[in-house]
Amino acid sequence: MATIQSIQDEIIEDFGMLDGDMEMTIGYVMELGAKLPELPAQYQTDDNIVKGCQSKVWLHADMNKGKVVYQADSNTAITKGLVSLLVRILTNQTPDDILNADLFFHEKIGMNRFIGTQRSNGFAAMIKQMQIYALAMKAKINQ
Amino acid sequence: MVDAAIDIQEIRKQFPILHQEVNGKPLVYFDNAATSQKPQCVIDALTHYYETDNSNIHRGIHTLAERATTAFENTRKAVAKFLNANETEEIIFTKGTTEGINLVATTYGRKFIGAGDEIIVSALEHHSNIVPWQMLCEEKGAVLKVIPVNEKGELIFEEYVKLLSDKTKLVSVNYISNALGTINPVKEIINAAHKVDAKVLIDAAQAAPHVKLDVKALDCDFMAFSAHKVYGPTGVGALYGKRDLLEAMPPYQGGGEMIKDVSFSGTTYNDIPYKFEAGTPNIGEVIAFKAAIDFVENLGQENIAHYEDELMAYANELLKEVPGFTPIGTADKKASVISFLIEGIHPFDLGQLLDAKGIAVRTGHHCAQPLMEIFNIEGTVRASFSVYNAKEEIKYFVDALQAVVKMFK
C-alpha cells in the first residue's frame, strides 16, 4: 500500500505537469472530482456535511481491516475534485497514520493560488473532519 | 454604438489597475457592485495629501492643518452639491453606507422609536440595511416589517402601502438592489411614507455611481452612500440628513470633534455635522473622495447611466445564446447588474473558472441571504458593469461562459 507521503509526491508530480496554468489546473481538479466514486445517497445526510465549507461537502468514513475508507461528494465540481485528492491520500490508511500525517501537497501545488482563501478554509475543514473520523475509528479499535 | 459623450478608451486610460494581466489573461473587472476601481485623479489626490498636506484637521492653526481642513471641508461641499442638499451641514462623513445606516438606527432610532413602533425594510435589502434595524427592534420592542418582492425581483408597491400605518416610524430601502440591480421607485416610496408621517432612509450605495441623486427632489429624510462604489477610496462615505432631524438626534459616538465643552460635571455637544464625527476621520480618503465626485460630474451621470444601459443591453442580448443561462431578477427598471445561474453549474465553480480567464465576478448570496431564500437559491453569479467597461470585455465574458458550459457537457 502506498504511503501518505508517496501519494502526495505523486500528486505533486501530476500537478507539476500542468505548469501552473490556472485553467488547466482547475480543469484537472474537476476531472479528478468527476472520477470520484459516487457517494451512496444514504450518506448524503446533513450529519455528514463538513462544517466550514462554503460549498456542500459530504464525507463518510468506514473501517476495513483496520484501515479507514473515506467516501465523499460535493455540490460543486471544483470542491469535489479537492476532496477527491484527500480521499486518494487518506483512504486505506490506518487511523494512526492519518492522525500523524504531514499533509504538505496542497502547499507544494500552490493550491491557495487557484482556489482562493475561502475554499482553502473549507479544505482545512475537510482535513479536520477526516482526522476526527480517524480518531473515532482509533477509539473503536482500542475498545 | 458608443455614446459620443463617453470615450471608453480615454476613460480606461485613467484607471491604471485595468491594464494588467490576471492569471495570464487581460483583467476584466465585473465586480463593480462590490467596489469600483479608482481613476488616477483619486489616487493622485490621496498621494498628494500624504506627500504635502498630512495633518490633523479643525484644531490646528498651522499651515498644513489649514490646508488639510480646507480640503476636507471642500469635500463636504462637493458631497452636498452631489446630493443636491440644502446645506453643507447636512452632510456627515462616515466610514460608508453601513455606518450611515447604523448611525441613524443608533441615534434617531434610540430617541424616536419605541415599543410597538414599526420599521419597514424591503426583501431586496443588503444585510447592512436589515441587521441594524433588527438590533434596534430587539432593543426597543419595535417591529420590523418587510416589503415583499415579485418573481421579477421588484418590490410589490401595493403590499408596501398596506404595511404603512400610524405605527410606521421609519422606512429604509435601497435605491438600487446590489444583488439584482432592481431600481426601486424611491420617490413613490417616500411620498407614501410621508403620508403616515414616517421618515425615510435611502440606501444609495449602488445608486450613487449610476443615477443622479437629488435629496431635495426625492424629499428623503436620510440618504447614505459610500465613496468606494463611486470611484473613491474605501472606508469613507456620507450620510445626508435633514437639518431638523440631525439637530434633534443625540450624538453617535463620544470624543474628539463632537464636543463643544467637556467637564466632569457635563459635556455640551458640537453643532451638526461635527456632533456626529467623533475622533480623527479618514482625512486623506475624504479629500480624495472629492476627486471621485469631480470625476463623476465631469463625465456626467446621465452619460454614465446611458453608457451603462448600452452595456447592459449588449450583455443581455449575447447572454441569451449561452445554454442554460437563467437571469435572477428581471425587473423592468434595472441598473448595470446581471445576476444569473447556468443550469448544472454551481456559481462557485463558474466564478473560479472565470477568474482563471482573468474575469472578476462576484458569486454567492451578495450579503442578501433573505432575498436568496425567496428565490430558493444559494446564490448567484453577479456581473456588474461600470463606465470603464467595454463591449469587447462583455464579448470575452460571454465567450468564456460558453467555454465553461462546454467543459461541463
Does the beta-carbon distance from B349 to A54 stay under 8 Å?
A: no
> Cis peptide leading into B185, omega within 30 of 0?
no
Report the candidate in A18, A27, A105 with the shortest Cα–Cα distance to residue B356.
A27
How far is residue A37's CA from residue B314's CA, in Å, rounded to a whole number? Answer: 42
pLDDT digit string, tens, across residues B160-176: 999 999 999 999 999 99
Q: Give the rounded percent of residues in chain B with a pLDDT score beyond 90.
A: 88
Q: How far is A38 from chain B (nearest CA, A)?
A: 17
How far is residue B312's CA from residue B318's CA, in Å, rounded to a whole number? Answer: 10
Q: How many CB atoms lie within 10 A of CB B66?
A: 14
Instruction: Specify the range with the lowest mean pLDDT, choosing from B26-30, B58-62, B195-199.
Output: B58-62
Q: Report phi then psi at B205, rounded to 5.
A: -55, -50
CB pairs under 8 A between A and B: 39
**What sign does the CA torsion over B86, B92, B95, B99 have?**
negative
Statement: residue B1 has pLDDT above 70: no
For residue B2, what pLDDT is reported? 44
Task: Identify whether the C-beta of residue B333 lies closer than 8 Å to the C-beta of residue B183.
Answer: yes
Does the beta-carbon distance from A77 to B345 stay under 8 Å?
A: yes
Spatial CB neighbours of B376, under 8 Å, sequence gap ≥ 6: none
C-alpha distance from residue A63 to each of A70, A86, A100, B119 (Å): 9, 17, 18, 56
Q: Which residues of B touch A27 (CB under 8 A)?
A: 407
Instruction: Look up residue B286 and give its amino acid.
Output: V
Instruction: Look up residue B18 and give its amino acid.
Output: L
Full DSSP string of B317-378: HHHTTSTTEEES---SSB-SEEEEEETTB-HHHHHHHHHHTTEE-EEE-TT-HHHHHHTT-S
Q: Which residues of A touch B363 (CB under 8 A)?
A: none
The radius of gyration computed from the CA coordinates of chain A, to the nearest angstrom, equals: 15
A26, A55, A79 member nearest B353 (Cβ): A26
Q: Which residues of A touch B31 (CB under 8 A)?
A: none
B346, B356, B408 member nearest A75 (Cβ): B346
Catalytically active residues of B are: 367
Locate the chain A residue with the closest alpha carbon to B404: A27
Residue B141 corresponds to which cell in the numbers above?
420592542
Q: Which residues of B touch A21 (CB under 8 A)?
A: 24
Q: How far is B349 from chain A (nearest CA, A)?
A: 6
**What sign does the CA torsion over B272, B273, B278, B279 have?**
negative
Could you list the beta-strand ranges (E) of B47-103: 91-94
Regarding pTM above 0.90, the answer is yes
A27, A55, A114 member nearest B348 (Cβ): A55
Which one of the listed residues A53, A86, A115, A130 is annotated catalytic? A53
For residue B4, what pLDDT is reported? 55
Angle of CA points A20, A109, B409, to nearest 5°: 65
| ipTM value greater than 0.85 | yes
Does the beta-carbon distance from B408 to A77 stay under 8 Å?
A: yes
B346, B348, B356 member nearest A23 (Cβ): B356
Q: Report phi then psi at B127, rounded to 5.
A: -55, -30
How far is residue B188's CA from residue B124's CA, in Å, rounded to a whole number? Answer: 17
SS3 state of residue B384: strand
If residue B268 lies in a helix (H) or strand (E), which one and from where to where? Answer: strand B266-269
Task: Identify whether the C-beta of residue B297 lies closer than 8 Å to the C-beta of residue B143.
Answer: no
- State chain A's mean pLDDT as an integer: 91
Q: Give the rounded percent of residues in chain A with a pLDDT score beyond 90.
A: 73
**Per-block average pLDDT, block size 10, for chain A (143 residues)?**
93 92 92 94 92 87 94 94 96 96 91 77 91 93 80
